[in-house]
Amino acid sequence: MTNHAAAPILVADIGGTNARFGLIDGRDIREVRILRCADHPSLEDAARAYLAAVGLAEVGAPGRPRRGAFAVAGPVTSDHVAMTNLVWEFSISRVRDGLGLDGLAVINDFTAVALSVPRLARTDRRVVGGGEVKPGGVVAVLGPGSGLGVSGLVAGADGRWSALAGEGGHVTMAATDPREAAVLELLRGRFGHASAERVLSGPGLVNLHSGLSELDGADATALTPAAITESALAGGDALCAEAVAMFCGMLGTVAGNLALTLGARGGVYIAGGIVPRLGALFERSSFRDRFLDKGRMRAFLDPIPTFVITHELPAFLGLAEAADAV
């Protein structure tokens, strides 16, 4: 068996515009570089450019990675991968061989985030209520970002974790009060189906703000998700504050549903770029109350801890976990 102990793992988180590459040893992430996908004709070319930039272009050079793990925006169901929102298509085995790697894992980008949970330190997460994690218990992960990622982690007999691959972000969103019901009715008229992702994502936050504006007959000025959150944090606009508050409450509802579905005694983790920016506002929100608001099942949910992932590059940690399996 080849000994990989001294070699770092080549990791990459590849989106539609940029590919973020790095090297990881255990929890130590270094040599992070962001490459524009449009500047490179293929994934292999981009990876070669990165290795050259960090002085590791030559196969067999001391410190050159022997294993790799890449996260891509799209499904990975076979050796052939066609990325969503990017013209790159590739064979996993050919890229592995072309880069001189002994093993290469390619997984969905949110699966990578989910797999980061076993490697998170206490300082990489912020507690938002609940008791203690049950060791080996099923873990639930939600990630509001450009969409809504949903996954779960199940521990195997060998101690390795497996991430569930599904489309939980597209479950039907349920209202818990008349105001939410009115917003969701508007979104059903606009989209045909009001899914969780239609409200729990960057575009979803915009949908909530525009829906509330329409209900109140207010000026429906188009705002970015960042502008809405910044205004809510500053206390400068009542509709922005309400949109963010509704977002947090609805996220609590969906997180509670997922915890019940999976029996997530290992905890519920909130990832993505939106929630960490809310800081104390999220902790003061109705998220945890809505998480628990399941009638007679409140006692089941009460001990389950909920966390916000604060690590800047959780996908890289998850990719290292995936690389250990190849």
pLDDT over 90 percentage in the chain: 74
Q: pLDDT at residue 285 above 70?
A: yes
- Across 60-67, average pLDDT: 87
1 confidence band (pLDDT: 50, 70, 90): very low
Name the CATH topology of 9-109+314-323: Nucleotidyltransferase; domain 5 (3.30.420)
40/50 Cα distance (integer angstroms): 11
For the chain, give every domain's residue range.
9-109+314-323, 117-310
- Give the CATH class of 117-310: alpha beta
Q: pLDDT at residue 79 above 60?
A: yes
Task: Give the residue from 21, 23, 110, 35 showing the smallest Cα distance to 74.
Answer: 110
231-255 pLDDT, tens per residue? Answer: 999 988 999 999 999 999 999 999 9
* Mean pLDDT, all residues of the chain: 92
Give the helix ranges, DSSP H, for the chain: 43-53, 92-98, 109-115, 178-191, 202-216, 225-234, 238-262, 275-278, 280-284, 287-292, 298-301, 314-323
5 confidence band (pLDDT: 50, 70, 90): low
Q: Buried b / exposed e across 208-233, counting CB within 10 Å, b at 16+? A: bbbbbbeeeeeeeeebebebbbebbb
For 233, residues 6+ apart whose C-beta sits below 8 A from its C-beta are 278, 279, 281
- Residue 171, beta-bridge partner list: none
123-172 pLDDT, tens per residue? Answer: 999 999 999 999 999 999 999 988 899 999 999 888 889 999 888 999 99
For 158, residues 6+ apart whose C-beta sits below 8 A from its C-beta are none
Which tokens belong to 313? Answer: 């590059």
**Residue 2: per-residue pLDDT:** 45
**Residue 25: per-residue pLDDT:** 87
Degrees to nearest 5, angle at CA 59 with 56 and 62: 60
**Residue 86: per-residue pLDDT:** 73
Q: Where is average pLDDT lowest: 3-7, 43-47, 59-63, 223-227?
A: 3-7
For 46, residues 6+ apart whose C-beta sits below 8 A from its C-beta are 12, 19, 21, 35, 37, 39, 40
